[in-house]
Structure 1
Amino acid sequence: MVADIVRTTTIRMRHLYSEDDVKNGANRLRAGGMIRRSAAMAAVSAGAFVGAILIAPTAAQAHEQTVFLDRAGCGYYGWSNHGQAETARYSGSCSGHAWLRVNWNGNLSSWTHGLPSVRFTAPGLSGIAYSQHKSCETCSVSTILH
């Protein structure tokens, strides 16, 4: 990006100044270029570091996963992390319920269902070992392991 700016500036300078003026200006740019390059690299490095901090996932988000389930023109998704799980219809107008079952702290829940979605939140937002999702009572099961 910095190189593009310098290149664009040099091209513009050629239109405004003589060739000698451009060469002298380029020599001045080279003389101060090391400082500018160091400052530019420091800015880019700082930006990357701050971006990594802002984007770094939490422990629960690191194990977050989504599966997509399609049935008869309707779209469902199953989502879970260590503390929450959900199955929901996101498209279509079919009348089927969303189905969910969760293994939390070693206990497997019974199947629960709801229209258009069903959700489980673990006490303390932790302990989910896996979640199972389906788009109807007799449909195939998609499992998310944590």
Structure 2
Amino acid sequence: MNPRKALALSSVALVLGAGAAVAQPAASAPQKNVPVVATAGRAPAKAPAKASAHIVRIQSTRTWTRSCGTTYQGVSTQKYAETRKFGGGSCKGDAWVRAQRYGVWGSWVHHSSNAVITYGSGITAAEHKGCANCTVYPTYP
């Protein structure tokens, strides 16, 4: 094995906790009261005393195609929610969207091709559909 690759692999331990896996640097010096984490095919490594997870918030996107062949896409962030209707297919239904802000659902908004709801912040979920009585597709920012 390449010595540089071996060094890189030995400097990271996989820390498991609360059902999630987070890659953390292996401790270089022994620490007291630190759980030991077993790594596959390697000697046990010490986990950091306080593991911190960095959460990257990205917009939530969902794409679907109705039985009439038209494709729709729902997008949401904390500031806006949008449903787009793309070309193709024979669907006559509008793009529909509504947003949940601070736990309260707003009214449905629709447009023939691009329905948008914009707020300064606070959107916690959005729902999208391709016609008034169609299946609802949720997104979460």
TM-score where L is the length of structure 1: 0.54
SS state at 1:62 partner: coil
> What is the letter of the counterpart of residue 125 of structure 2?
Y
Equivalent residue, structure 1, for 2:127? 132
Equivalent residue, structure 1, for 2:136? 141
> What is the letter of the counterpart of residue 132 of structure 1?
E
Tell me how far apart the structure 2 counterparts of residues 90 and 115 of structure 1 sit (CA, whole Å).
Answer: 10
**Shift of residue 85, structure 1, vs aligned partner:** 0.7
Tell me how far apart the structure 2 counterparts of residues 89 and 145 of structure 1 sit (CA, whole Å).
Answer: 19
Equivalent residue, structure 2, for 1:63? 58
Equivalent residue, structure 1, for 2:84? 88
Cα shift readout 1:109-140 (whole Å, capped 9, x = no counterpart): 11111111100111x2x100100001111111
| Larger radius of gyration between Structure 1 and Structure 2 | 1
Identity of aligned residues (%): 35
Tell me how far apart the structure 2 counterparts of residues 65 and 91 of structure 1 sit (CA, whole Å).
Answer: 22
Cα shift readout 1:50-108 (whole Å, capped 9, x = no counterpart): xxxxxxxxx9x823011012111100000011101100112225321011111012221
Does 1:99 find its partner at 2:96? Answer: yes
Does 1:120 find its partner at 2:117? Answer: yes
> What is the letter of the counterpart of residue 70 of structure 2?
C
- Unpaired runs of 5+ residues, structure 2, are 1-54
Number of equivalent positions:
85
Tell me how far apart the structure 1 counterparts of residues 87 and 75 of structure 2 sit (CA, whole Å).
Answer: 16
Runs ≥4 in structure 1, deviation > 3 angstroms?
Answer: none
Q: Higher strand fraction: Structure 1 or Structure 2? A: 2
Q: Higher helix fraction: Structure 1 or Structure 2? A: 1
Does 1:108 find its partner at 2:132? Answer: no
SS state at 2:91 partner: coil
Contact kept? 1:69, 1:134, Cα under 8 Å: no
